[in-house]
Structure 1
Amino acid sequence: MPKRQVLFKLKKLNKITRRNMQKKNDRNSIKIMQIRAFCMTAEQGAASLAALNLFRTQSAITRSIRDLEHTLAISLFERHAKGMLLTDLGNVILPRARSAMEELTRIPALLRRLQQRDDEGIEDLEPTWLFNERRLQIFLSLYRQQHALHVAQALDITQSAVSAALKVLEKGAGMYLFHRTPKGMLPTPAGHEIAPCISRALNALHHIPEEITAHRGDLTGSVRVGALPLSRARLLPQAMIKLISRHPGIKIVTNESGFTALIAELRAGDIDFIIGALRNEKMLLDIHSEILFEEELILLARPNHPLSDRRVKNQELKDIQWVLPRNHAPSRHLLEVAFCKMGLASPQPVVESGDPAVVRALLLGSDMVAAVSSHQLDFEVSEGILIPLQVNLTGTRREIGLMTRQKALNSPATDALINCVREVIQSSNDK
């Protein structure tokens, strides 16, 4: 057989194998319609009453719950002649299941508001067009990648399957969710509005198996952390070491994006919490902040720098080549205020960077001076690799802490990592 034919057959066989595995995974995944039946049965206490409320047959409700129990390998209800009572594990996953359904069922009201329709008094039919996990995965992938071909390749489906899923969603929404342009599929205002709800709903579903294993005493799953610069040197790594030593089944993923991007991902449920400098912004009313400690800005230089080993005079700060945080960073503003109090003009940087590796290399190879947070290059200072200059930057203290979504249901693994962060802080305070 010619080599080309062999390669073609192997490629075709691999594709069939991947699709068969995908079908198997889909059969073993949690279905939103099953979660819907579970939540309503828990609320009503009987499959017959749940069926009446959901306009389905009792056998369909019973089958959905049985399939969900099979997928999760647990019993969710105790069956009695007078109804169905939640088991311990049923009670464990119920808040997460309700959270997912609440995120999806609030979408019609968001779309109504965009359409400026004054029909708030009308009772919504359930948005069953949203109750399909695969369809929602396609929407989120398209929202992030903005190209149907890329989505099809990433999910190993056809482009027509992507188009069909989007058609169902847009018909249900009653409006376009994407603009079709030569540059790709760009989200409309409606697409932007519903994406966080869909993301939070899917994330809630994905955490359900973790809740079950945690109840049995085994923490698993992943924690996604938005790591701002001040947490990266010691605090977060030490907390991660503590967590992994106790629970080796947990995976931690850090995201080092800027604050604006991290907040957007936190709101969408794509990261579990942010650790770093807290912000006092009116736009963060939906974010809960927990203060861990306070720190201040310092000026760092190499050992044997011309300004080291003595008190630096204010006027000597005028002729320095500065390495500073980026222009709109909160620490940059605090530094400028401190210079103003000293009667000096704002320092002008020759380099703007928040990358510790870049800052360290610049300082070690020159007479540049960097303004950084006192914990940002903590290791370098403690080892004598870099030294703080003797300058008092008054008014530069700020709060460092954790940011989470208000009323968010943290996964057990997330709570465990947050507790490890607190332990690291407590150990540091006790020294």
Structure 2
Amino acid sequence: MTTPAARADRDDVLRYLCVFLSVAHTGSVTRSSEQIFKAASAITRALTQMEQLLGVSLFERRPRGMLLNAYGEAVHLRARRIQAEIRQAATTLCNGQSTRKDPAVLTQLLLSGNKLRVFVSLASHGQIAASCHHLGMSKSGISMSLARLEESVGQPLFQRTAQGLVVSEAAEPLLLHAKRVFAEVRHMQADLMALQGSVEGCITVGALPLGRTRLLPLAIVHLLQKYPGIQIKTRESSYEELARDLGCGDIDFIFGALRPQEENRQLVSEALFVDQVRIFCRANHPLTRTPDHLSLATLQHNGWILPRQDSPARRALVRSFTRQGLSAPQPSVESGDLAVVRNLLTHSDLLTACSPHQLRYEMEKGDIVELNVDLGDAERSIGIIQRSGCHPPPAMQALLEEVRKICASDLLPCSPPAASYTPRRTAELAQHCVS
């Protein structure tokens, strides 16, 4: 668990980014002094403090100037991405003002001090007292920081309610970009560790139902055998909530059934295999005593456990019934929780439609069986969803490769892999940090 002090130290890198980017661009403290109107001594001091904070030297100091080394290149990549997010947030806020403000001035403000950190914490916790504990700051310090930020922005960033603080509609873009900024800061240190030969860091995966039971756990086991310093967190929720969290950088990628690309153009999908939806029931179910092929019409009025209406598996089942001129079955129970589905199946005559991967253990034990039903083209693509334009840290790259490997090797006969790939070694993961 990250302590408030460690979190503050890590996030303090933001205050040095403008100086760092200027020196990286000009290659000289003197030229940077002229460019950003700071004393050369102040620039030198800021760079030294930034290097001490990160624990590495970022420049090769030469008589004719300063040149980024490998660590500096890795930080430079993240710094430019952070700067772009801050600029976009500042531009959006300024464009929404009746009184014209300078986005460049607001950009400098957002990168200074702990204003962004306070804003994100208040948005997450909704209470000043909770943010005090989270950040290790006093109540007066947080209140003052928020007041200064709102004064500079020229509008309230929160609605004050009886339940606490709620982010205002105008401040939603700032929250989105601020969260992305801190995601880049988190990954910056992991990039530096990889360059030192240690793949570490914390990766958060949005786990959709299909991946939770076997594929993702196997990938995580293989990953930790290679890189025990990596920490994995999984988040189980609806696709809509996971997609929102992915968009703002709260999670790193989603694994499961893919959605149509047009549903969210800020996300990109990578299909790993095609999955067939099938129909399952408990062992010794009355329908298993019929040796012949079952028709969908026979099952239409049976009791069903089905996932949410907008889920890929539900859509695939509906398509199968519709193609045969039948109305889709109405579920007795609607649930995407596999524990609920398993227990209902084994203790009732209900049916369900899902992937064989989700019930693999129960099928191997003989508790649940597949019915002999032809659903036709009841397919859905399974794979990885990432935020468009993201630059995965080495730990995330390593986990993605394990997921791809598992999906290519641990499939049922009905699920052909979408493509082949070649795994990368630790050195290649480190090189990714500076390219």
Same fold at TM > 0.5? yes
1:285 counterpart (259, 265, 287): 265
SS of equivalent residue, structure 1 residue 345 = coil
Deviations 1:362-417 (A, max 9, x none): 11111111111232222222332211111111232011111111111111100000
1:100 has 2:82 as partner: yes
Q: Is the 8 A contact 2:275 2:355 kept in 1?
A: yes
Q: Which amino acid aligns with 2:410?
A: S
Q: Name which of structure 1's ranges 421-430 and 367-376 shifts more when overlaid on structure 2.
A: 421-430
The residue type equivalent to 1:386 in the other structure is I
Over aligned residues, Cα RMSD in angstroms? 2.2
> Which among 165, 184, 187 is matched to residue 145 of structure 2?
165
1:292 CA displacement: 0.3
Q: Does 1:77 align with 2:55?
A: no
What is the SS of the residue equivalent to 1:400?
Answer: strand
1:42 is matched with which residue? 24
Which SS does the other structure have where 1:299 is aligned?
strand
Letter in 2 for 1:392: D
Q: Which moved more, 1:316-325 or 1:354-363?
A: 316-325
> What is the alpha-carbon distance in structure 2 between the residues aligned to residue 262 and residue 133 of structure 1?
31
Give the direction of change, closer, same or farther, for the CA distance of 1:430–1:44 in structure 2 (3 Å limit). Answer: farther
Alpha-carbon distance change, 158 to 70 in structure 1, aligned in 2, over 3 angstroms: closer
Which residue pairs with 1:212 in the alignment?
A: 192
Counterpart in the other structure of 2:277 = 297
Summarize the alignment of residues 209-248 of structure 1 with structure 2, pairs less than 5 Å apart: 209-248=189-228
- CA–CA separation in structure 1 for the residues paired with 2:300 and 2:263: 36
Change (3 A) 1:100 1:249: same
Higher relative contact order (CA 8 A, sep 6+): 2
Kindly report structure 1 stretches of 4+ aligned residues shifted beyond 4 Å: 21-29, 116-119
Residue 406, structure 1, aligned to residue 377, structure 2: no
Comparing 50-59 and 415-424, the one that deviates more: 50-59
State the secondary structure of the residue aligned to 1:399: strand
Q: Distance in 1 between matches of 2:242 and 2:360?
A: 24
Q: Cα deviations across residues 307-346 of structure 1 (Å, max 9, x unaligned)?
A: 1153213332133111111233232232222112223222
Superposed CA offset, 1:227-277 (max 9, x none): 111111111011101100000000000000111111111111111101111
410, 415, 421: which is aligned to 1:428? Answer: 410
The correspondence for 1:265, drawn from 240, 245, 260, is 245
Percent identity (aligned): 34
Tell me whether 322-331 or 242-251 shows the greater mean CA deviation.
322-331
Q: Decide whether the 8 Å contact of 1:210 with 1:411 is kept in 2.
A: yes
Question: Shift of the alpha carbon at 1:35?
Answer: 2.1
Report SS of the residue matched to 2:287: coil
- 1:3 corresponds to which residue? none
Change (3 A) 1:124 1:70: closer
Provide the rounded CA distance (Å) in 2 between the counterparts of 1:259 and 1:28.
Answer: 31
Aligned length: 409
Provide the C-alpha distance between the structure 1 equivalents of 2:352 and 2:98, rounded to a whole number of angstroms. 51
**Shift in Å at residue 28 of structure 1?**
7.1
**AA aligned opposite 1:50:** S
- Is this contact kept in 1: 2:304–2:352, CA < 8 A? yes
Q: Distance in 2 between matches of 1:83 and 1:291?
A: 47
In the TM superposition, what are the counterparts of 1:344-359 in structure 2 within 5 Å?
344-359=326-341
Verify: 1:338 aligned to 2:320, yes or no: yes
State the distance in 2 between where 1:413 and 1:30 align.
23
Q: Secondary structure at the residue paired with 1:274?
A: strand
State the TM-score, normalizing by the size of structure 1: 0.89
**Residue 170 of structure 2: which of 160, 182, 190 is its match?**
190
> Aligned partner of 1:76: which letter?
L
Pairing partner for 2:303 from 283, 307, 321: 321
Contact preservation (8 Å) 2:316, 2:380: no
Contact 2:277–2:379 under 8 Å retained in 1: yes
Q: Report the CA distance shift for 1:27/1:396 in structure 2 as closer, same or farther (over 3 A).
A: closer
Q: Which runs of 5+ in 2 are unaligned?
A: 414-435
The answer to whether the 8 A contact 1:353-1:359 is kept is yes
**Paired residue type of 2:392:** N
- TM-score by length of structure 2 reads 0.88
* Mapping for residues 130-149 of structure 1, pairs under 5 Å: 130-132=110-112, 134-149=114-129
TM-superposition CA deviations, 1:268-311 (whole Å, max 9, x none): 11111011111114242121111100112111111111111532
2:425 — aligned with what?
none
Partners of 2:327 and 2:412 lie apart in 1 by: 40
Moved more, 146-155 or 182-191: 146-155
Query: What amino acid does structure 2 have at the position aligned with 1:192?
Result: E
Which residue, 63, 81, 85 being the options, matches 2:45? 63
One-letter amino acid of the structure 1 residue matched with residue 124 of structure 2: R
Counterpart in the other structure of 1:6: none
Q: Which amino acid aligns with 1:358?
A: V
What is the correspondence of 1:112-123 to structure 2 with a 5 Å cutoff? 112-115=94-97
Is contact 1:29-1:71 (8 Å) kept? no
Letter in 2 for 1:251: Q
Tell me, in whole angstroms, the C-alpha distance in 1 between the residues paired with 2:51 and 2:157.
34
CA apart distance, 1:159: 2.3
- Give secondary structure in 2 for the equivalent of 1:115: coil
Q: Which residue of 1 aligns with 2:231?
A: 251
1:126 Cα offset (Å): 5.3
Distance 1:288 1:87 in 2: 32
